[in-house]
Amino acid sequence: MVRFITFEGCDGTGKSTQLRLLADYLGARGKSCVLTREPGGTPLGQHIRQVLLEVGDQPIGSPTELFLYLADRAQHVQEIIIPALEQEKIVLCDRHTDSTMAYQGYGRGIDLELLRRLNEMASQGVRPDLTFLLDCPVSIGLSRTAERQARAAGVNAEDRFEKEKLDFHEKVRQGFLNLARAEPGRISIIGAAASVQEVFAAIKTIIDKKLE
Ligand code: TYD
């Protein structure tokens, strides 16, 4: 039985939208879902998220960043994920351990085996049953993110886009794809350049099979 489902992928691949669509779909079939995310799925995690996403131009070391994501995860698994699974709910989580492997491992170059062990500790060995990896070319994801941020801040999307480091995000994307190739039974790669409805149709096909 599929209980713990994660959505992974580079920035701007539409994870949050697809997670909500899946929650509606499952809800309409009488399944009780908990929607959550990392970082920021708990009150403590909200503080950590704010620190991580609002450091602005201040330099943040890779280990510092890693420990913040792990601290957020440890609290999240303890406070939200384990209790929800114990209540037989379906947990839909926007980012989890694979993000650490892709961003801090493949992206920042931290040893992958070390990250596996730290993830195991932070998640108390609780692993997703199913992961949707939303994948599209980095340029598409980044321009979607830049447009969203620009709309929110009322600034020009181009300025934001120029600052992004394409090569970093390319490494992250390839990292996610490597993870998916290593665990094809758990991780399904979903083409995310298509329309919202087309992407959801692909997700629905997989979930229908798993829930049969
Ligand atoms: P998120 O809010 O999901 O960003 P977006 O909506 O743009 O996808 O995640 C915030 C950022 O945190 C995102 O750039 C990925 C990064 N991240 C890591 O680097 N490592 C991690 O372990 C996690 C969970 C997120």
- The 10s digit of each residue's pLDDT in 67-107 is 999 999 999 999 999 999 999 999 999 999 999 999 999 99
Does residue 38's CB lie within 6 angstroms of at least one atom of ligand 1?
A: yes
Residues 105-138, buried b or exposed e (16+ Cβ, 10 A)?
bbbbebeeeebeebbeebbeebebbbbbbbbbeb
DSSP run (H or E) holding 152: helix 138-153
Q: What pLDDT digit, counting tens, does each position of 190-207 carry?
A: 999 999 999 999 999 999
Mutation test residue for ligand 1: of 6, 103, 140, 179, the one with most atoms within 8 Å of CB? 103
Which of 24-28, 82-86, 97-101, 141-145 is predicted with the least confidence, judged by mean pLDDT? Answer: 141-145
What distance in angstroms lies between residue 95's CA and the mean position of ligand 1's atoms? Answer: 7
Average pLDDT over residues 113-142: 96
What distance in angstroms lies between residue 5's CA and the mean position of ligand 1's atoms? Answer: 17
Question: 28 to each of 20, 22, 23, 85, 166, how far by Cα in Å?
Answer: 12, 10, 8, 20, 39
pLDDT at 153 over 80: no
DSSP 37: E
Looking at every residue in the chain, the average pLDDT score rounds to: 92
What distance in angstroms lies between residue 14's CA and the mean position of ligand 1's atoms? Answer: 12
Does residue 99's CB lie within 6 angstroms of at least one atom of ligand 1?
A: yes
Q: Which two tokens stand for residue 177?
A: 């794809």
Q: What's the count of helices (H) and strands (E) in the chain, helices before strands?
A: 10, 5
What distance in angstroms lies between residue 115's CA and the mean position of ligand 1's atoms? Answer: 16
Specify the pLDDT at position 155: 62
- Residue nearest to ligand 1 atom 23, measured at CA: 99
pLDDT at 147 over 60: yes
Cα 99 to the center of its chain, rounded Å: 6
- Cis peptide bond prior to 184, omega within 30° of 0: no
Specify the pLDDT at position 159: 44
Question: Following DSSP, what letter does each residue of 57-78 receive, concatenated?
Answer: TS---HHHHHHHHHHHHHHHII
